[in-house]
């Protein structure tokens, strides 16, 4: 099962679900009856907390072998004057003006690809959103600074990229909380956006996301760059499926992303020519 099919199935569940009360019970129901059965491969991945597979196939040489033990900073949350509550529902498109779209890059940062993507975005004066994996952010904090200084938004993509819906509640909180704490430690402010690995949310993980001050983000266009179909195919997929308000899923880490970079070089000027405006996902 591909990640987008899994996501589509989950969307149905999410739209039907209401995030209230007895979340552990809700998860039990979802897991047994309400949701699609987890694919064996995904379940296998989810059991290995250090495995970064699927769309992230774990081949990234820049990935640290294991997250270093570190003191947990206090769990972060959006607070203070002017803070707005996070969205409860997963955003699959932008609420903004007609020609705005959002390019999103998951599973980094990766020193082989993230800087090249940042340079392309700079060249075309485009903004994007990067959903980073905690253990990669820990390994490459300078890349987090680089992303932020270029004016892009950094979101939370968990610490080790597990399937959140297969984890007990405490581990869901640890995966998201530890990553938010690290981002806050590096950049001085906690992320206000999160994306679940494989786009796989359930009421419990959504509640944890909200509790940590983050709005959940999905996507409407899967570039399928992680399947490495060739840069032309990736570019065609993005351009064919793009529409006003689209959120585009791409990857700057988790494996060989050379095709992602090459495709971006191709489709970014083209979508600009078509009048689209790449913006950050609003927090």
Nearest residue to 118 (alpha-carbon basis) of 222, 235, 265: 265
157 classed as catalytic: no
The catalytic position among 152, 157, 161, 251 is: 251
Residue 71: strand, helix, or coil? coil
Sole window of 35-43, 60-68, 86-94, 101-109 interacting with Zn ion (rule: CB under 5 A): 101-109
| Residue whose Cβ sits closest to Zn ion | 106
Nearer Cβ to Zn ion (26/111)? 111
Q: Which of 100, 107, 135, 175 binds Zn ion (CB under 5 A)?
A: 107
147: left (phi over 0), alpha (psi -120 to 50) or beta: alpha
- One DSSP character per residue, 143-172 reads HHHHHHHTT-EEEE--SS---GGGS-HHHH
- Please report how close the Cβ of residue 184 comes to Zn ion at its closest, in angstroms: 21
- Residue 200 binding Zn ion, by CB under 5 A: no
Give the separation between CA 64 and CA 109, rounded to whole angstroms: 12
Please name the residues in contact with 49: beta carbons below 8 A apart, sequence gap of 6 or more.
Answer: 160, 162, 171
Q: How many residues bind Zn ion, per CB under 5 A?
A: 3
Q: Is 106 one of the catalytic residues?
A: yes
Choose the stretch contacting Zn ion; rule: CB under 5 A; options: 67-75, 194-202, 206-214, 216-224.
Answer: 194-202
Q: Which of 86, 91, 106, 261 binds Zn ion (CB under 5 A)?
A: 106
- Rounded to an integer, what distance in angstroms lies between the CA atom of residue 156 and that of residue 170? 17
Q: Which of 33, 106, 145, 211 is catalytic?
A: 106
In the complex, the smallest distance separating the C-beta of residue 171 from Zn ion, rounded to whole angstroms, is: 17
**Quick one: DSSP state of residue 65?**
S
Catalytically active residues are 106, 251
Question: Using CB under 5 A as the criterion, which residues of the chain lie in contact with Zn ion when the complex forms?
Answer: 106-107, 197
């Amino acid at each position: 099962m591909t990640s987008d099919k899994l996501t589509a199935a989950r969307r149905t569940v999410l739209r039907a679900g209401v995030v209230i009360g007895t979340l552990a019970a809700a998860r039990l129901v979802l897991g047994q009856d309400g949701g699609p059965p987890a694919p064996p491969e995904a379940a296998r991945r989810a059991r290995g907390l250090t495995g970064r597979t699927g769309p992230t196939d774990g081949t990234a040489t820049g990935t640290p072998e294991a997250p270093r033990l570190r003191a947990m900073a206090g769990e972060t949350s959006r607070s203070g004057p002017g803070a707005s509550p996070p969205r409860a529902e997963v955003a699959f498109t932008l609420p903004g003006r007609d020609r705005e779209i959002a390019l999103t890059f998951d599973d980094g940062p990766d020193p082989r690809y993230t800087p090249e993507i940042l340079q392309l975005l700079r060249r075309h004066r485009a903004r994007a959103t990067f959903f980073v994996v905690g253990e990669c952010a820990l390994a490459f904090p300078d890349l987090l600074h680089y992303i932020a200084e270029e004016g892009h938004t950094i979101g939370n993509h968990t610490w080790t990229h597990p399937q959140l819906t297969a984890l007990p509640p405490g581990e869901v909180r640890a995966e998201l909380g530890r990553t938010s704490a690290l981002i806050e430690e590096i950049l001085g402010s906690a992320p206000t956006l999160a994306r679940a690995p494989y786009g796989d949310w359930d009421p419990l993980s959504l509640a944890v996301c909200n509790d940590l001050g983050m709005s959940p983000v999905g996507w409407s266009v899967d570039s399928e760059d992680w399947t490495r179909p060739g840069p032309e195919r990736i570019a065609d997929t993005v351009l064919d499926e793009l529409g006003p308000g689209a959120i585009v899923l791409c990857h700057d880490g988790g494996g060989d992303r050379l095709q992602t970079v090459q495709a971006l070089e191709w489709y970014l000027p083209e979508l600009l020519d078509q009048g689209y405006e790449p913006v950050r996902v609003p927090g």
